[in-house]
């Protein structure tokens, strides 16, 4: 990954991270303040305004390095994948306590107390982090006093599954959302990153970075022979996951959803639309 890639380099002409002094030119350099996402999810936008392009989303519990706050927006870097952009200040909170658990199902409700009869006060998506302070019956009590069904949580650290494809398959039917990373909406590279993260495999956020850094290349044959479950198929600006030797799982703008379809059908449609042929196939 190039240090000067603006997606992952906390540097602007007027401001940069202190560790970049001597590497990039900026008017001033600052040391980051560590915080965490306290909202269910937070949009990381290209510019500090609500209608700016959504580059990615940060989930509850994610660590964030904040360099500047101004007019309700924080210019920050996500600690996990290094993505840089603008987050709503309202989505940020204290760095401690760190999450003890993460959501292990596609989506779960947050209740004001340990009862399914209470009206939910929120919902969290797969891989969101929470701090559990104790247990009451079937519920986990969170540090803020709210409650989540305990069997929907798993400890931070161990993988949720050894086969990351089983995680990705849970998102079938979820709407496509450019920059999305939740069960309310997800994009192609967000799906790959999130599924791999659930299997304890680190991956960059965007498909070009994933193509550059993940796995080993396979030969691209005319009939796409020799593929197996978990292989990643890349186009310029797009990525999908093979669920078996012939079928592709991907979040895509054609269906505006996450679907499984024959790889041959997807490749023909994508090339006919002018997006070009498959650029690589990688095996993890």
Residue pair 24/10 in contact by the 8 Å Cβ criterion: no
Q: Are residues 31 and 81 in the same domain?
A: yes
Q: Which two tokens stand for residue 245?
A: 């030797």
What length is written for the chain? 284
Whether residue 4 is contained in a domain is answered as no
Q: What is the band of 1 on the pLDDT scale with cuts at 50, 70, 90?
A: very low
In which residue are the tokens 């989505």 written? 91
CATH number of the domain bearing residue 170: 3.90.1720.10
Which residues partner with 57 through β-bridges? 43
Q: How far apart are the first and last CA of the chain?
A: 18
Q: Are residues 82 and 146 in the same domain?
A: no
Residue 74 CA to residue 44 CA, distance in Å, equals 10
Phi, psi of 87 (to 5 degrees): -115, 145
Q: Are residues 122 and 85 in the same domain?
A: no
Q: What is the band of 4 on the pLDDT scale with cuts at 50, 70, 90?
A: confident
Q: Are residues 169 and 279 in the same domain?
A: yes
pLDDT digits (tens, 9 = 90+) for 29-69: 999 999 999 999 999 999 999 999 999 999 999 999 999 99
Whether residue 151 is contained in a domain is answered as yes
The pLDDT of residue 27 is above 70: yes
Q: Are residues 181 and 270 in the same domain?
A: yes
pLDDT at res. 3: 58
pLDDT digits (tens, 9 = 90+) for 150-194: 999 999 999 999 999 999 999 999 999 999 999 999 999 999 999
Instruction: Give the helix/strand (H/E) hosting 268.
Output: helix 263-272
The pLDDT of residue 279 is above 50: yes
The domain containing residue 180 runs over which residues?
164-283
Indicate left, alpha or beta for 91 from its phi (over 0: left) and psi (-120 to 50: alpha). Answer: alpha
Residue 16 CA to residue 240 CA, distance in Å, equals 35
Whether the pTM exceeds 0.85: the reply is yes
Residue 96 CA to residue 127 CA, distance in Å, equals 18
pLDDT at res. 2: 46
pLDDT at res. 151: 98
Q: What is the band of 284 on the pLDDT scale with cuts at 50, 70, 90?
A: very high
Fill in the DSSP letter of residue 246: S
Q: Are residues 88 and 108 in the same domain?
A: no
Whether residue 10 is contained in a domain is answered as no
pLDDT digits (tens, 9 = 90+) for 75-115: 999 999 999 999 999 999 999 999 999 999 999 999 999 99
Q: Are residues 22 and 69 in the same domain?
A: yes
Whether residue 187 is contained in a domain is answered as yes
pLDDT digits (tens, 9 = 90+) for 132-153: 999 999 999 999 999 999 999 9
The pLDDT of residue 22 is above 70: yes
Whether residue 175 is contained in a domain is answered as yes
- State how many domains the chain has: 3
- Expressed in percent and rounded to 5, the helix, strand and coil fractions of the chain are 15, 40, 45
Q: Are residues 174 and 277 in the same domain?
A: yes
Q: Are residues 185 and 215 in the same domain?
A: yes
pLDDT at res. 88: 98
Q: Are residues 185 and 270 in the same domain?
A: yes
């Amino acid at each position: 990954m190039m240090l000067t890639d603006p997606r992952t380099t906390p540097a602007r002409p007027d401001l940069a991270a202190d560790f970049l002094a001597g590497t990039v030119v900026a008017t001033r350099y600052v040391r980051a303040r560590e915080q965490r996402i306290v909202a269910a999810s937070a949009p990381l936008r290209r510019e500090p305004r609500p209608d700016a392009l959504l580059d990615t989303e940060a989930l509850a519990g994610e660590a964030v390095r904040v360099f500047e706050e101004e007019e309700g927006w924080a210019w920050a870097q996500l600690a996990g994948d290094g993505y840089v952009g603008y987050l709503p200040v309202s989505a940020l909170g204290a760095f401690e306590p760190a999450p003890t658990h993460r959501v292990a199902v596609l989506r779960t409700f947050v209740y004001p107390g340990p009862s399914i009869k209470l009206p939910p006060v929120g919902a969290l998506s797969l891989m969101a982090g929470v701090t559990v302070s104790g247990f009451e019956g079937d519920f986990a009590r969170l540090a803020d006093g709210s409650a989540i069904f305990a069997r929907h949580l798993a400890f931070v650290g161990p993988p949720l599954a050894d086969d990351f494809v089983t995680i990705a398959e849970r998102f079938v039917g979820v709407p496509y959302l450019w920059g999305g990373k939740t069960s309310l909406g997800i994009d192609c590279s967000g799906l790959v990153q999130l599924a791999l993260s659930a299997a304890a495999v680190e991956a960059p956020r965007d498909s070009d970075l994933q193509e550059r850094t993940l796995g080993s290349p396979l030969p691209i044959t005319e009939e796409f022979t020799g593929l197996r479950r978990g292989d990643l198929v890349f186009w310029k600006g797009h990525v999908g996951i093979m669920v078996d030797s012939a079928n592709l799982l991907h979040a895509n703008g054609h269906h505006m959803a996450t679907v499984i379809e024959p790889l041959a059908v997807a490749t023909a449609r994508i090339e006919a639309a002018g997006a070009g042929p498959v650029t690589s196939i990688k095996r993890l």
